[in-house]
Amino acid sequence: MGGARLRGEVTVTGAKNSVLKLMAAALLAPGRTVLTDVPHILDVEIMAELLRRLGCDVSHDSGGATVAIDVPERLEHRADYDLVRRMRASITVLGPLLARCGVVDVALPGGDNIGSRGLDMHIAGLQRLGASVTSEHGYLIAHAEAGLRGASIWLDFPSVGATETLLMAASLAQGRTVIDNAAREPEIVDICSMLTEMGADISGAGSSTLEINGVEVLRPVEHATVPDRIVAGTWAVAAVMTRGDITVRGARPEHLDIALDKLVTAGAQVTMVEDGFRVTMDARPTAVDIVTLPYPGFPTDLQPQFIALNAIAEGAALVTENLFEARFRFVHELVRLGADVQTEGHHALVRGRTTLSGAPVEATDIRAGAGLVLAGLVAEGETTVHEVHHIDRGYAGFVEDLKRLGADVRRTGAPT
């Protein structure tokens, strides 16, 4: 039910987009890796299942925030379609399995409905490291029985996934690898820290050039997951849209510089608190243009939430999506709530409306789902968001947190 002004505190946990890669990185070292600040989300369950199939023992404490992964000396090297189909991030095991086993078969992914999301840069990079890569019967098969060798790699685009695959593979390669035009996301910095704690020799984390001197073995470690900047950013937008007052704890505002600055432009007050930030808003927001780009640019994973914000803002805004072509699919759902959004290629023109009207809508991916819930919070009457299993993939305890902040929301049907 729309209309509540959200007020109070929320605490964010570790980032989905980091923890899945940290779980894959555990494969690089036999023994027990322990990850803390793990979010209780479906994708972590899927990754745990995948690691078990590879021969690991994965256990978690009662709340799920600490996950222990016991990695055997000998790993299986196949990631089956049934899991990869459910979660594209399963392909993160490609790099570590190739480095550890000298061979890997990973099903080609489906995953989010947000565009083609190729693997060409992962493949070309692994080939530079000496792997032979083929694709047969829906599987990507890579061989490097004699081991991987360090190389210079230039990425066509600072792909997060390709940077991670190559970082993990190069950590156990012979000699020096340089990855140019590497991704700079906080999640990349996080995996670099974990790999370094494991004994890898990596420099340049957070810059566009990563240098990795391969080592023979890595050791298991205990590592805390970086906070989820996208979940934190979603709460910030919720505060602005509902003219509320939300303190987001456990967050790193420096990872959200552009997004928070945009909210200030929209009229919000953003203040830093000891372990996070506070967003307050007491008027209708002003529309803000955004252009998604690799970090430190505006994150594509906050684009749907900002379209939702612009849909109820004063004025019009141009939203440009440069990463995932199909991300505007969710706009059709937002229009069902009365939003005025026109898309043309990778641009969306959003003309703010004073009201939206509640209706049944369907989540098309994780962030679209979050954007639709935010729209529902301000729409008149009742909004039902279907296919919320998408939201479960990235937002732990979303409904409970919303309720605690004063939203009139309920979940029908059990989490999957």
Q: Which residues are catalytic?
A: 112
Residue 413 phi, psi dihedral angles, 5° rounding: 90, 145
Residue 126, SS3 per DSSP: helix
Sign of CA dihedral 365, 369, 370, 375: positive
The one-letter code for the residue type at 328 is F
Of the pair 126, 372, the CB lying nearest ligand UD1 is at 126
Asked if residue 33 lies in contact with residue 221, where contact means CB atoms within 8 angstroms, the answer is yes
Half-sphere exposure of 123 (CA within 13 A, CB side): 14
Of the pair 97, 160, the CB lying nearest ligand UD1 is at 160
Min dist CB 149 to ligand UD1, Å, is 21
Min dist CB 119 to ligand UD1, Å, is 5
Site for ligand UD1 in 307-326 (CB under 6 A): 323-324
121 contributes a contact to ligand UD1 by CB under 6 A: yes
Min dist CB 324 to ligand UD1, Å, is 5
Of the pair 120, 261, the CB lying nearest ligand UD1 is at 120
The angle at the Cα of 209, spanning 204 to 215, to the nearest 5 degrees, equals: 60
Of the pair 39, 161, the CB lying nearest ligand UD1 is at 161
Query: Segment contacting ligand UD1 (CB under 6 A): 117-125, 146-154, 335-343, 396-404?
Result: 117-125
Asked if residue 176 lies in contact with residue 152, where contact means CB atoms within 8 angstroms, the answer is no
Query: How far apart (Å, rounded) are the C-alpha atoms in residues 394 and 390?
Result: 8
Site string for ligand UD1, 358-397 (x = CB under 6 A): ----------------------------------------
Site string for ligand UD1, 62-101 (x = CB under 6 A): ---------------------------x------------
The one-letter code for the residue type at 133 is V
Query: How far apart (Å, rounded) are the C-alpha atoms in residues 256 and 246?
Result: 16
301 contributes a contact to ligand UD1 by CB under 6 A: yes
119 contributes a contact to ligand UD1 by CB under 6 A: yes
- One residue of 8, 59, 157, 342 binding ligand UD1 per CB under 6 A: 157
- Give the residue closest to ligand UD1 by C-beta: 161
Q: Nearest CA to 59 among 79, 45, 72, 78?
A: 45
- Other C-beta atoms within 10 Å of 196: how many? 15
Give 298's strand partners. 292
- One residue of 17, 177, 364, 383 binding ligand UD1 per CB under 6 A: 17
Site for ligand UD1 in 210-269 (CB under 6 A): none
233-243 residues labelled b (16+ CB within 10 A) or e (exposed):
bbbbbbbbbbb
- One residue of 13, 159, 181, 305 binding ligand UD1 per CB under 6 A: 159
Query: How many residues make contact with ligand UD1 (CB under 6 A)?
Result: 20
Query: Segment contacting ligand UD1 (CB under 6 A): 120-128, 139-147, 170-178, 207-215?
Result: 120-128
Q: Nearest CA to 199 among 416, 75, 29?
A: 29
Pair of tokens at residue 61? 């404490």
The one-letter code for the residue type at 274 is E
Q: Which residues bind ligand UD1 (CB under 6 A)?
A: 17, 20, 89, 115-122, 157, 159-162, 300-301, 323-324
